Structure 1
Amino acid sequence: MHKGNYIAVVCNYQIKNNRIGSMDRFFIAFNKACIDNGYVVDWFFPKSKKNELYNEVNFYSDIDSNVETLFLNHISKTKASYNYVFTHFIELFTPFYKKVKQKLDCKIIAVDHMSRPIDGFTLKKKLKRKAKFFMNGKYIDKIIAVSQYIKSQNLKDYSYTLKSKIDVIYNGIDIKLYHKTSQQKSKKSSKFRFIVVSHLVFEKGIQDLIYAASKLDKEILNSIIVDVYGEGVYKPKLMDLVTTLKLEDIISFKGSVGNLYTLYNKYDFMIQPTYMEAFSLSILESLCSYIPVITTLVGGNVEIIKNSINGFLFEPKNIEELKEILIGVCNNKLELKESNIYKEIRSKYTLDIMVNNYLKLIKRCT
C-alpha cells in the first residue's frame, strides 16, 4: 500500500445504461489500475445508478445534489480523508476547490475537458474567469489538459504562470474494440454511409449538416445515408428540421447505443460539424476503426485530423464548404492519400497509455 493511497474522483458525468462509451471504459480501467497499484478509489457521480459495468467501483451518487455538493457533504459527514482529488467535467477555479482544500490535506488534479466557444468568451466572461483564477488559482495543484489546444486556452484564459501546472494527457480508447472492416465497398454499387456521433446540442453543428444535405442535388442525395447517434436537448429541433426539409429518408436519429464500437466499420465517413471541441473521443474511435472524418477546424480536431489524409477539414458554420466536401466525396473527386496515419493513431491514443500517464502524474504529485 502507498502511504498516501486514498483517491477521490469527482465527475460531473452521469452514468447511463444505454451509453457505455470510451469515457466509461477509462474510468473502469483507471479504477482497476489504481487498485492494482495499492490505491483506494472512491467515485462521485451526479444523479446516477450503479450498473454492471461499475460493479467493482466504490460508487457515490444521489438524485438531489450536484456532484460538487455531493462530495463536500460526503467528506463533512464521513470525515473521509483523501490524498488526491481528481475532478472531471468541472469548471476550473471555482470556490469548490477552495472548499475541498479547507477540508482536506490533499493534492487536487483537475482534468479540463471543456471546449471553448468558437468566437471566444465575452469580455464579461473573460473578466469573471480571470477573477476566479485570482481568487482560487492556488487551490488546484495540477491541471490535465486533454489536448494541446486546451492547454493553450488555459494559458490564454487565465495566466501564463499556469504553464508549470499543466500537463497534456490525450484521451485514449480500448483499441481492441475497434478494427478495420474486412470488406471494401464498391462505391458504384452501394450508397455512401455517414455516421454522426454527438451530444445533440446547438454547438455541435448538426443543423449545418442537415442544411448542407438539403442543398445537394437529387442524384447525390439519393446516394447517401446519414445516421446520427446521440441524445440531447436539441434533438427535437433537429428532427423537426429534417422533416421540414424532407430529409427523413436520408437522415435518421438512432439515439444512444451501448455497442457503438461495433458499428463504425459499417460506415464510409464520420461527420462532426462541431463549433467547439476539446479532443473528441468519437473522432478518435472512428479513426481507430479506419473510418475517415469530415470535421471542422476547431479545438483538438486539427491535432488528429490531417486534411486529405485521414479526413477533410472545413471552417465551422460554413455550410457551403461542407456541401462541396460531400459532393466531392460522393463523386470520387475528393480522395484521401495513402498513409500509415491510422496505425500511428492506434499506437498513440490507447487506453493503456492514458491510464499509465495518469498514474505517473499521481506519483509525481506525491
Structure 2
Amino acid sequence: MKIGIVCYPTFGGSGVLASELGLSLAKEHEVHFISYACPVRLQAHNDRVIFHKVDVPPYPLFEYSPYTLALTSKIIDVMEHHRLDIIHVHYAIPHATSAYLAKKALHGKVKIVTTLHGTDVYLLGLNPSYKSIVEFSMENSDSLIAVSEFLKKETLEKFSITRPIAVIPNFVNPEKYKRTGRGKEKIICHISNFRPLKRVADVVQIFGMIVKERDCRLYLVGEGPTRHPAQKLVEKLGLEEKVCFRGNVGDVSKILGKSNLFLLPSQQESFGLAALEAMSSEVPVVATRVGGLPEVIRHGKDGYLAKVGDLDTMAEHCLKILTNEGLAKKMGREARMRVLEKFATEKVVPRYVSLYQKTLVS
C-alpha cells in the first residue's frame, strides 16, 4: 500500500504515535509524511519514508496564516504525484478537515482514516469555534479510530456521529524500550508537553514529599507553558539540587531505561503513551485514575492509580515502590509483560493494516 500520514511534528503523543506507526509500516509499505516540519522521531535515512513539507507563505492580508488550506493543497499534490491509497490523519483539528477537502478536490480517489487522540475531542473539539467542522470531518472520514475505549465513549457522547469507531491502542517497541543499568540513586521520571492538564506542579510537590523520606532525583522531560512555574516551585521548595529539567528529548528510552518510577498525575489522559513506554522499560507507574489510564495500568499489579489531586496518596504509592526493591522488581516485570502481551508493535500495527485493507474495499 501507499500510505500518507498527516500529523503534528511535535513531542506530543499523537506525533510520536504517528511517527512510530509510519516507521513500522515502512517495512512493507510506502509511507509519506505530510506536515509543516519533519516529525521528531522520523528517521530521515529511511528510504521508504518520504517527508513532504507544508509551506505556509506569509501574506499581509491574513492576520493568521491559513494552514488548513496549505495542508489541503499539499495533500492533493502528494496524492496526485504518488497515487496514495490511504490518508491517515492523526488529531482531528485541522487534519481531518484538510483530508476531506483534498478528497473532494480529487473526486474521492483516496480513503481517509482519522485517529482521535484526546484533546482534539474533549478539549479543542468541543470549542464552539471548532465543534461543527470537527463533527463533520469525523463523520465523513472513511474509518475512525480512537486510542482507548474511554475516548471512543467520550466521542460518541459529545458528538452526533454515526460513523463506527474502532479502538486501536497506542503501542511501543519493546526492543527499544527496555530496562538498562540502574545506579544506586533512585530516579523518578515525568515526561510530558508541560500543558496545564499534565499538572507538572503536582509532580514537583509529590517529589517534595518523597525526598523527605527517601533520597532520590527527579527528571522532568519536556517543554511547555507550565515549565517556568514548575521551575519557580522547585526553587521555592529548595529542590534545585534534586530536580533536573531535561527539556525535549528525541529518544527518551535511555532515560526511562535507568528510571525507577514514572509519575503521571494528569487531569486527563486519553491513553498515556509515556506511561506505556515506562512500563515497557520495567518502570512501575504511579498515575491518576482518569481517561484511558486504567485500560493500561492495573492498580496494585504493575503500578498504582489515585484520584486527581490526591498528592498524599500518590506520594505513599511512590514510597511503597521506592522502599521495597522486591515489589518494584515484581511490578516492573508485570508492566513489561503487560506491554508484550497487549501493546507491543507486532501486536498492534497489524490491526492498523487490517483496518486499512477493510477501508479500501468498503
What is the TM-score of this pair, normalised by structure 1?
A: 0.80
Name the amino acid aligned to 2:5: V
Give matches, 1:266-345, under 5 Å: 266-332=258-324, 335=327, 340=334, 342-345=336-339
RMSD (Å), alpha carbons = 3.5
CA distances 1:87-139 after superposition (whole Å, capped 9, x unpaired): 0123389643542332131221001112489xx669x9376676346644542
Residue 125 of structure 1 is matched in structure 2 by 126
In structure 2, give the amino acid aligned to 1:45. Answer: S
Task: Give the partner amino acid of 2:69.
Answer: T
CA pair 325-98 structure 1, distance change in 2 beyond 3 A: same
C-alpha contact (below 8 Å) 1:48/1:62 kept by paired residues: no
Find the aligned partners of 1:217 and 1:7 in 2 and give their Cα distance: 48
SS in 2 for 1:32: coil
Cα distance 1:178–1:200, how it changes in 2: closer, same or farther (>3 A)? same
- Paired position in structure 1 for 2:61: none
1:74 partner SS: helix
**SS of match in other structure, 2:9:** coil
Which region of structure 1 is more displaced relative to structure 2, 146-155 or 254-263? Answer: 254-263
Is the deviation greater in 290-299 or in 232-241?
Answer: 232-241
Moved more, 287-296 or 151-160: 151-160
The answer (yes or no) to whether the contact 2:100–2:112 under 8 Å persists in 1 is no
Contact preservation (8 Å) 1:192, 1:225:
yes
| Structure 2 Cα separation of the partners of residues 50 and 93 of structure 1 | 18
Letter in 2 for 1:168: V
Unpaired runs of at least 5, structure 2: 58-65
What does residue range 171-210 of structure 1 map to in structure 2 within 5 Å? 171-181=170-180, 190-210=184-204
1:270–1:51 CA distance, 2 compared to 1 (3 A): closer
Structure 1 residues 241-250 or 96-105, which shifts more? Answer: 96-105
Q: Percent same amino acid at aligned positions?
A: 21
Could you tell me which residue of structure 2 aligns to residue 101 of structure 1? 103
Greater relative contact order (Cα 8 A, min sep 6): structure 1 or 2?
Answer: 1
Indicate how the Cα distance of structure 1 residues 167 and 48 shifts in structure 2: closer, same or farther if over 3 A, else same: same
2:29 counterpart SS class: helix
Residue type at the aligned position of 2:98: F
Q: Which residue of 2 aligns with 1:24?
A: 19
Secondary structure, counterpart of 1:345 in structure 2: helix
Is the Cα contact below 8 Å between 2:16 and 2:41 reproduced in 1? no
> Helix, strand or coil: the match of 1:359?
helix
1:44/1:70 contact within 8 Å kept: no
Distance apart, 1:355 and its partner CA = 2.1
SS in 2 for 1:172: coil
Q: How does 1:208-287 map to 2 (within 5 A)?
A: 208-215=202-209, 218=212, 220=213, 223-287=215-279
Offset from partner CA, 1:280-309 (integer Å, 9 cap, x none): 222111111111101111122101111111
Say yes or no: does 1:64 pair with 2:56.
Answer: yes
Which is worse superposed, 314-323 or 279-288?
Answer: 314-323
SS of alignment partner, residue 292 of structure 2: helix
Counterpart code for 1:356: P
Residue ranges of structure 1 left out of the alignment (5+ in a row): 36-40
Equivalent residue runs for 1:50-61 within 5 Å: 53-55=43-45, 56=47, 57-61=49-53
Q: Give TM-score scaled by structure 2 length.
A: 0.81
> 2:116 matched to which residue of 1?
112
Please say if 1:13 is aligned against 2:17.
no
Give the superposition deviation at 1:225.
Answer: 1.2
Aligned counterparts of 1:115 and 1:8: Cα–Cα separation in 2: 23
1:351 equivalent to 2:318? Answer no
